[in-house]
Amino acid sequence: MRLTAIAAMLLASTALAAAQSGANWSYEGKTGPQLWGRLDPAYQACSKGHEQSPLDIRSTHLDKTLQPLEFHYIAGPMTLVNTGRGIVARVDPGSTLMANGVRYQLVELQFHRPSEHSIKGKLADMEVDLVHRSDDGKQAIVAVRLNQDRGFPNALLSTLWAQLPTRPNTTAKVTEMVSAGGLLPADPGYWTYLGSELEPPCTEGVRWFVFQQDLSISRDQFRAFNNLYKMNTRPVQDAHGRRIEANE
């Protein structure tokens, strides 16, 4: 293994350890997002960083050199975790994303209510963030905005929500063979920018891809999540002059 890869893995391990051992945080009150940077020295990027996420997407720049995202997702079991702050679906290794020449492994799906990213100030009902990591420790997160409508339920969510752990700090195994591709829109257009993780320690250097097309979910699927978490979203952050690029 190359030294750069080893160094990146050690850095990722350090960040994970800080997140697990750091001060308690939440989405409201005295441990809410506005105060994350004061809760622990390891969380300073949350208040002092200049590449924080999420963003309000208003002005974008077309970049014709950006390649379409290539998803190579395989079906398999997932583990649903009720973290006490939201729902996370952890996937087995094997599903990958190829983005602008870099290959990333899919690690987990994180669900938020309402959406983290807004479009010209408008939030979607929910957002799912598909978290990926490369062999050298870099992160790429694909964001898909979810909106409820009167149509058919999303098939993948129907399978996951049937096993939804309703109590904090509990897990549920989804043994059916499912693929995260069931949460990808048909239109491949996306916006991209360099940002951060959405929770403490708010580590920067994360490549974000936000799908331009949202995805429909049923009202019952939305209500099932809303009954557990009515709000688990970080407010939009200052762009500090960052460019948001569009591939089409």
Q: Mean pLDDT across the stretch 193-209? A: 98
What pLDDT, on a 0 to 100 scale, did the predictor assign at position 151? 79
DSSP per-residue letters across 4-19 = HHHHHHHHHHHHHHHH
What pLDDT, on a 0 to 100 scale, did the predictor assign at position 248? 77
Distance CA 188, CA 195 (A): 21
Contact between 174 and 161 under an 8 Å Cβ cutoff? The reply is no
Q: Name every residue whose Cβ is closer than 8 Å to that of residue 219 and which is 6 or more positions away in sequence.
A: 148, 149, 150
Q: Would you state the structure tokens that stand for residue 118, as one six-digit string?
A: 């807004």
Please state the domain extents for the chain.
3-246
Q: pLDDT at residue 230 above 80?
A: yes
Secondary-structure class of domain 3-246 per CATH? alpha beta
Of residues 248 and 51, more confidently modeled: 51
Q: What is the pLDDT of residues 11-64, one digit of tens each?
A: 333 334 444 458 999 999 999 999 999 999 999 999 999 999 999 999 999 999
Q: Radius of gyration (Cα) for the chain, nearest Å?
A: 17
What pLDDT, on a 0 to 100 scale, did the predictor assign at position 21? 56
Burial of 111 (C-beta count, 10 Å sphere; 0-12/13-18/19+): buried
CA torsion sign, 99 to 100 to 101 to 102?
negative
